[in-house]
Amino acid sequence: MSRPSPGGLVAISTSSFARADRRPLERLEAAGFRVRLSSRGRRLRPEETIDLLRGAVGLIAGTEILDREVLAACPDLTAISRCGAGLDNVDLRAAAERGIRVARVQAVHAEAVAELALAGILALLRHLPAADRGLRSARWSKPMGRLLAGKTVGLVGLGHVGKALVRLLAPFRPGLLATDPSPDPAFAADHGVEYRPLDELLRASDVVSLHLAYSEPVHHLLDRRRLALMKPDSLLVNTARGGLVDEAALAEALHDGRLAGAYLDVFEHEPYQGPLTGLDNALLTPHIGSYASEARAAMEMEAVENLLEALS
C-alpha cells in the first residue's frame, strides 16, 4: 500500500483534542494535512467512527472500538496513532493485514494518572465527597476519616503509572505490595516494594490500586470471588481500564459494607450509568486520568509526531 503525501485528511476522534494546547493541531496543519475533529464529546460508536474516518488517511484515536469491521469500512486509512498507551481497542491483526501502521504514546501520561489515583485514595480516606455534599445541604457533619500514613497499598500492575504512584506515596511511608506479569526487582528493591501473588495482595492491602493494561485474559480480574478477599475496611482504586473490575459485583460489595469505598475513573461501558452512581461510598470521575493540561498537551503532540512518522 502506498503511503499518502501531505494534503490528505487526518481524523481525530478524541473529544478534547487541542483544548489544552493548540500546537498539536497546528503541527498537523503545518505538515500539510487537513483535519477533521469529532464533535460528539464522548467515545464514538462504531458507525460514528466509520463516518468520521470517511476519506481519512490517518487517525489520532481515542478509546473507540477499531475492530475488523470498522477498519474494513475505511479503505483509505493507512495509520492509527493512539493518544494514549493502551491498544486494547484496536484489532492489531486486522490492522496489520490491511497494512495500517499503529502507534501509541509511551509514558508521558504516567504522572497525571498517578496523581489522580493518589487524589482518589486521599479523598476516600478522608470522606471528602461526603463532607462536601453535607455542607452544601446545610449539614455541619464531620466524617471521621483515616490516615494514608502507615497503610498497606497494593499495586496491581507496576509499570510506568504504578511506579509513578510508588514515588508519590513515599512521604506517606506505606507498606507497598505489587503484582505484575513482568517484575522489576531493581525498582522494587530501591523503593521497598514486595511482590506478592494477586490473592495474597488483596488480602493484605488496605488500598488496592489497579494499573494494568486491559486484555481478554484480565477481563473482570477483580470478580466477585476476588473482591471478597479484600478487607471490609479496604479501598479499591481503578484509574487503569474499565473491564478489569466486575462493576456489578463491586456495587454489591460496597452496598453491603463488604468494602469501605472505591474510586473509579474508568468503566467497562462509557459513559457509565450503572448502579455505582447511587452509592455514597463510590467516587466516580469520567475517565480524566490524563486530563492535566501539561500531560494532555504532551500526549497529543507525541500522538501527532507518531502519526506523521507513520504517514511519511
- Given a contact cutoff of 8 angstroms between Cβ atoms, the answer to whether 65 and 39 are in contact is no
**CA 302/CA 300 separation, integer angstroms:** 5
Specify the CATH architecture of the domain 110-284: 3-Layer(aba) Sandwich (3.40)
Q: What cell does 36 get?
A: 477533521
pLDDT of residue 1: 41
pLDDT of residue 3: 47
Q: What cell does 135 get?
A: 455542607
**CA 254/CA 232 separation, integer angstroms:** 9
Q: What cell does 184 get?
A: 522489576
Measuring CA to CA, how many Å separate 61 from each of 9, 213, 250?
14, 17, 30
- Where along the chain do its domains lie? 9-108+292-311, 110-284
Is 127 an active-site residue?
no
Side chain identity at 95, as an amino acid letter? A
The one catalytic residue in 97, 270, 294, 309 is 270
In this structure, the number of other CB atoms found within 10 A of the CB of residue 73 comes to 15
The one catalytic residue in 101, 109, 241, 296 is 241
Fold agreement between 9-108+292-311 and 110-284: yes
pLDDT of residue 6: 60
Query: Which residues, including other chains, have CB under 8 Å from residue 129's CB and lie 6 or more apart?
Result: 123, 280, 283
Q: Is 237 exposed, middle or buried (0-12, 13-18, 19+ CB in 10 A)?
A: buried
Its pTM stands at 0.89
**CA 163/CA 152 separation, integer angstroms:** 16
Task: Give 9-108+292-311's CATH code, choosing from 3.40.50.720, 2.60.120.10, 3.10.450.40, 3.40.109.10.
Answer: 3.40.50.720
pLDDT in tens, the chain (312 residues): 444 456 799 999 998 899 889 999 999 999 999 999 998 888 899 999 999 999 999 999 999 999 999 999 999 999 999 998 889 899 999 999 999 999 999 888 999 999 999 999 999 999 999 999 999 999 999 999 999 999 999 999 999 999 999 999 999 999 999 999 999 999 999 999 999 999 999 999 999 999 999 999 999 999 999 999 999 999 999 999 999 999 999 999 999 999 999 999 999 999 999 999 999 999 999 999 999 999 999 999 999 999 999 998
Is 241 an active-site residue?
yes
Is 287 an active-site residue?
yes
**CA 110/CA 289 separation, integer angstroms:** 9
pLDDT of residue 2: 43
The one catalytic residue in 287, 296, 300, 302 is 287
